[in-house]
Chains A and B, each alone.
Chain A
Amino acid sequence: MNPVTPTNLGETILNVFFYLIIAAFLIYSIIAIYSLLRYGRTKILSISVIVVYLIISAGLYAAAVSSLNQIK
């Protein structure tokens, strides 16, 4: 018999919370990028800043996923 242990439930809750937070982050980022591209006067500057932001965010996301996997 292999019952579902509280640890697994904890992991599921942690995963759900983590990806909800990431979804909120993603939505907010998309709105920010949209505003900058929509209202920004210099597209080259806007795109450059967005690329830098996305690279840093992707690095931080990778670090967060790595930390999440470390907990499991």
Chain B
Amino acid sequence: MIHNPLFPGQQENEKIYMVLRPHWFIFFLKFLAWVLFAAIPFIIDWFINQFAPGLNNAPYVGYIDLLKDIYMMFLMLGLFILWIMYYLNMQIITNERIVDVTQKSLLHHTISELHLTNIEDVTAEVKGVFGTFLNYGSVYVQTAAETERFVFDNVPNPAAVEKMILDLYEKVPKGND
């Protein structure tokens, strides 16, 4: 059997139950903000046509086109990075542990693990209009040993995630870390 781990340190017999990323609506909100920035060149075009048509002639038009092209390049880079950050942030629930993979910036990658045996309390939270209608929210996992808790932000169906973690906790053999 070929072992192709989803995260570093994954055991061969470790079964992955869930891979969670923030709800698509969270990415959509960021994408909407990006669209607003993408609209700026079109607004400037409209503004020039309405109030300063002289800028549509040489030599100004060349400079304006150049600025727009450079702006669009960085805008594309922004969208690319936005998607990378969305894609690389995830939580994995296995039959043995919870793995929180966090990409804080392009070169800042963190992996935290929590064994199911250390779980003390799991809380699912849904709040806000969009969270309620689209069924996304946060899941808080309190550990027995540490005061710090695992937080899954804006994950889809937090109640199902909470139930799955508790079900897996029940199945873990006690006294066997």
Q: Considering only CB atoms, which chain B residue lies closest to A70 in the complex?
A: B62
Residues of B contacting A35 with CB < 8 Å?
A: 84, 88, 103, 106-107, 109
Q: Are A39 and B109 in contact (CB under 8 A)?
A: yes
0 or 1 for each of A26-51: is its CB under 8 Å from B? (1 = yes)? 00110110011001110000000100
CB–CB B63/A28 < 8 A = no
CB distance from B33 to the nearest CB of A (A): 18
**B63 touching A64 by the CB < 8 A rule?**
no
Q: How many residues of A contact B (CB 8 A)?
A: 24
- Answer yes or no: A67 CB below 8 A from chain B CBs: yes
Instruction: State which of A28, A36, A56, A67 has its C-beta within 8 Å of the C-beta of B62.
Output: A67
B87 contacts A31, C-beta separation under 8 Å: no
The 0/1 profile, CB within 8 Å of B marked 1, for residues 1-41 of chain A is 00000000000000000100100010011011001100111
B40 at the binding interface (Cβ < 8 Å): no
Contact B107 A36, beta carbon cutoff 8 Å:
no
Q: Contact residues of B with A, CB < 8 Å?
A: 6, 59, 61-63, 65-66, 68-70, 72-74, 76-77, 80-81, 83-84, 87-88, 101, 103, 106-107, 109
Question: B74's contact among A18, A25, A31, A63, by CB below 8 Å, is which?
Answer: A25
The majority secondary structure among interface residues of chain A is helix
| A36 nearest CB neighbor, chain B only | B84
**Contact in complex: B103, A39 (CB < 8 Å):** yes
Known A18-B66, A39-B101, A56-B76; 18 more pairs at CB < 8 Å: A25-B77, A29-B77, A31-B107, A35-B88, A35-B106, A35-B107, A36-B87, A39-B103, A41-B6, A49-B83, A53-B76, A57-B76, A63-B65, A64-B70, A67-B68, A70-B65, A71-B62, A71-B66
Q: Which residues on A sit within 8 Å (CB–CB) of B65?
A: 63, 67, 70
From the candidates B66, B76, B107, name the one contacting A68 in the complex (CB within 8 A): B66
B20 CB → nearest A CB, Å:
13
A31 to B107, CA, bound (A): 8
Q: Residues of B contacting A29 with CB < 8 Å?
A: 77, 80
Q: Choose from B63, B73, B101 the contact partner of A61 (Cβ within 8 Å).
A: B73
- Considering residues B62, B68, B83, B109, which has the most beta carbons from chain A within 10 angstroms of its beta carbon? B62
**CA of A3 to CA of B63 in the docked complex: distance in angstroms?**
25
User: Considering the chains assembled together, what is the distance between the CA atoms of A31 and B59 in angstroms?
Assistant: 36
